[in-house]
Structure 1
Amino acid sequence: MKNIVLFGPPGAGKGTQAEVLKDKYNLVHISTGDVFRFNMKNDTELGVLAKSYIEKGQLVPDEVTINMLEAEVEKNPQANGFIFDGFPRTESQAEALDAFLSKKNAGINGMIALEVNEEELKSRLTERAKTSGRADDADPVVIQKRIDTYNAETAPVKDYYEKQNKYYGINGVGSIEGITGLISNVVDSL
């Protein structure tokens, strides 16, 4: 079983790469953002709660996120592995993920981080807003808050995986195919 954390700031290309990788390696892609958006669209209890944080550019509390993620994993008992996209976002979430996976005699094989500079991220998010209809991609203030939140609260998760020799930084600027090739080299080595 291969379990990969696909990591990077908003707009780095995680969702795009996860779609290619899930097919190539027959993995289940779990995007916390997609799960939250589904729940918000359907006004579930989780969706209403998540929306109150996301609209402010804040992270959804760990307990809510972890419970939701565990439920998604449980829906796929026969999976060959998972791509965790947008999770973990904090060191405590990384620890909770390790504890959950260890109960299943599994673990994270590697964290693959798409590294993209801030100006490129802003440009990508602004473009995505035009096609996705995502309000959080259209407001420059919210975009900056999301990037700042990532830098302050999420980027330290890198250290957690570096200490385990499971961190792999990838240049996230270039063609989709070129970036996929770099990621595939890492996945093949895990």
Structure 2
Amino acid sequence: MQVESFDIAGIKLLVPRHIGDERGYFAETFREDVFLKECSDVKFVQDNESRSVRAGTIRGLHFQSEPHAQGKLVRCTAGALFDVAVDIREGSPTYGQWVGEVLTPDNGKQLWVPAGFAHGFCTLEPDTVISYKVTGYYNAECDKGLRWDDPAIGIRWPEIADSETLSPKDRIQPMLADLPAYFTWER
């Protein structure tokens, strides 16, 4: 498994090796030893999955605050998606900056989004399925969000992104400038 870093500390891209032939491929999609060495010493407690029927569906930007913060290891199991992580760690040199990656079953890429980042995505194909492991259980009181199209962040969403697909909750998320300091950057 190949692990790549970004200019934003903490986020990693995991690219499993596909061993294939005319029948298809085999891939190790998670190895605890590699993850612990290259990403983080965390324990995954739950696997989540969501399906979006329409291409252009936007979900996010979401995160959970302390004491129920979540890290997420995200992959696409059907269709295709543009996956995004935004640094919301107060004091971070990359505060408000973002990373985006196209995830598909064929490329096998997985995005590690640690606690302290907001996460969201836009589906690129109909019937896209996203699957992700999380490091904390869902907690409604700690369920928070950030405005998906905040110009201060400047995410370059795919042209297909359709704001009409936003959930009622995602339509009223705060801008980065109005977001309380839920996380503090630690060197």
TM-score normalised over the length of structure 2: 0.31
**Structure in which a larger fraction of residues adopt helix:** 1
**Structure in which a larger fraction of residues adopt strand:** 2
